[in-house]
Amino acid sequence: MTRAMGLGAAACLQLLACDAATAGTSRAVSLAPPQLSGAGPGAVEVSAHPTPLSLLEDEDPVLAANKRLVFDAWRGIVNAGHVELADDLLREDYIQHSPVLPTGRAAFKKVFSAVERREIPELVSPPLVTILAEGELVVMALREELPQPGGEGHYTTTHFNLFRIEDGRLAEHWHSVQAAPGPHLPSAAEGGPQPVTGVSGSAQFALLQAKDAALAADKRLVFDAWRSAADRGSAGVADRYVGETYIEHDPNAAARPEVALQGPLVAMIAQGDLVVMVTAREHPHPSRAGETYTTTWFDMFRIKDNRLAEHWNGDVKSGGPAAKYGG
């Protein structure tokens, strides 16, 4: 079991019933892009954050360093092809959970050596929606623009990356790409993608802990909405958990949230007014009869007045190209 799934035990010991105003996670300034007034029903285009560098600031120096590590690795290696930076930024035993990428630092460098080397940009690409950190985990959300099925126009979705940090380096990675592995990608035992695993049943409650009591409450709100959707469907979620001005960014959604009902639960990360719920999905392998592969599903919610106020996920429209960014 990865340390992302083991956060609960340590968090339980460190849980402090403190006021949100003293915990460095003030809700006075949202970590999400500015809200869209009068958005109306249906999917709303994903917006990039207008001041992305401000998202790297944090009163906790460890969280600030972790955010900067993820941000710099992405713009330096994924965007600009400076694969030599991986020797300092990634652990040698870097664990890869992407269904389409092999594991390990050496494999990471080989994959991104195909990126044309250029001057390292100031900002990441695609544009940053938000970045949040809790404990050893960092979630980076990016605005991804994809062609509409049929070839006319475009639509937006959110590309998520989850990293675990260990000893100041990237140690583990999950992302929202749902694409199936190709026939020549090695198995997990041979250095291919490592399975996405999580916890089920009562073990999930450990992932709802947080040092900040308000963040723990936000996690529980999202978790309870998720469970309500499993029991009663989306109508049950809307009636009890969703705010009247709810904004939906799922490109396939109607006016109310379609919470991913599959499990197990990989992680719950909360900072400011945002909560990211990460779950595992299992699929039949397309080229190995009787075998399966796993992917990671992300749901991000903005919380306002103890209700779900806004939702992003990594869904894409059928019949068009899949999300393409790695990590």
Which DSSP symbol is given to 266? E
DSSP string covering 298-309: EEEEEEETTEEE
Identify the pLDDT of residue 152: 85
pLDDT score, position 320: 67
pLDDT of residue 9: 32
Q: What is the pLDDT of residue 130?
A: 98
Residue 265, pLDDT score: 96
Instruction: Tell me if residue 3 falls in helix, strand or coil.
Output: coil
Cis amide leading into 264 (omega within 30): yes
Evaluate the omega torsion of the peptide bond into residue 41 and state whether it is cis, within 30 degrees of 0: no
Crossing angle of helices 213-232 and 234-241, rounded to 10°: 140
**pLDDT mean values, one per 10 residues, the chain (327 residues):** 38 31 52 76 89 97 98 98 98 97 97 97 98 98 93 92 98 96 93 96 95 97 88 70 92 59 86 97 91 95 95 88 68
The candidate with the shortest Cα–Cα distance to 95, out of 7, 186, 163, 14, is: 163
Whether the pTM exceeds 0.85: the reply is yes
- What class does CATH assign to 34-313? alpha beta
Give pLDDT, residue 15: 31
Is-contact 302 296, C-beta < 8 A?
Answer: no
122-142 tens-digit pLDDT: 999 999 999 999 999 999 999
pLDDT at position 231: 66
**Amino acid letter for position 103:** T
Provide DSSP, 105-171: HHHHHHHHTTSPP-PPPSS-SSPEEEEEEETTEEEEEEEEEEEPTTSSSEEEEEEEEEEEEETTEEE
